Amino acid sequence: MEQALFERVYESVVRREPTYDGVYYTAVLTTHIVCRPSCRARTPKPGNVVFYESLEQAVAAGFRPCKRCRPEEGGVLRPDAVLAAEADQLMEAQFGQKVTLEMLAGWLRVSPFHLQRTYKRVTGRSPAGRLDQLRIEKACALLTDTELAVAEVGQAVSFRGPSHFTAWFTRKTGLPPTEYRAQFKGGIHHE
């Protein structure tokens, strides 16, 4: 591999970007493991890296596929819409817990940069914006349809502390949770 190309592919390793996933495989001489270029494990030094054009070549040379990035599972990038839909599924399943862009990207085995850009291009908003929306919808429903305390509603949408939840909810809806509940609960005002 010529030096300029090596540097370009190695740059994607440093940045953990999937540009060369499925095109080259990163074999690490010190660990005898072969990865996708976008692998999120520790970045190997350039002197310890050999790029192969196929996984078979790397395995034949004695490298084991990485358990973390699983280069054997086809390196070709998912179409953007599929990635966005997978991100949506994850967020709908996980919004009750703390979820960061890095966590999402790790689960989907892409770089945070790639996920953010792709998701926004497909859906018109960021993953963080979508998480906020899911949490607001759930919190509003819990406030109006249940007797859960505000702190419990906050916990159900990932907030540990009630004050943090109240500040966030007020910022997003324009009403504090208690007031939102008083105004909208079942259309009935409880004395």
Q: Which residues of 66-103 are buried (b: 16+ CB within 10 A; e: fewer)?
A: beebebeeebebbeeeebbebbbebbeebbeeebebee
Residues classed as catalytic: 35, 39, 66, 69
Give dist(CA 152, CA 156) in Å, integer.
Answer: 6
Give dist(CA 78, CA 43) in Å, integer.
Answer: 23
Shortest distance (Å) from residue 35 CB to Zn ion: 3
Binding mask 48-67 for Zn ion (x = CB under 5 A): ------------------x-
Which of 27, 58, 69, 153 touches Zn ion (CB under 5 A)?
A: 69
Which of 11, 19, 43, 68 touches Zn ion (CB under 5 A)?
A: 68
Residue nearest to Zn ion (CB): 66
109 Rama class: left (phi>0) / alpha (psi -120 to 50) / beta: left
Name the residue nearer to Zn ion (CB basis): 35 or 84.
35
Name the residue nearer to Zn ion (CB basis): 31 or 170.
31
110 binds Zn ion (CB under 5 A): no
Element (H, E) at 28: strand 25-28
Shortest distance (Å) from residue 21 CB to Zn ion: 11
Phi, psi angle pair for 100, to nearest 5° = -110, 165
Binding mask 118-157 for Zn ion (x = CB under 5 A): ----------------------------------------
Shortest distance (Å) from residue 36 CB to Zn ion: 6
Site residues for Zn ion, 14-43, by CB under 5 A, read 35, 39, 41
Name the residue nearer to Zn ion (CB basis): 68 or 185.
68
Contacts of residue 33, Cβ cutoff 8 Å, sequence gap at least 6: 27, 63, 64, 65, 66
Q: What is the dihedral of CA 43, 48, 49, 55, to 10 degrees?
A: -100
Give dist(CA 145, CA 186) in Å, integer.
Answer: 7
Residues that bind Zn ion (CB under 5 A): 35, 39, 41, 66, 68-69
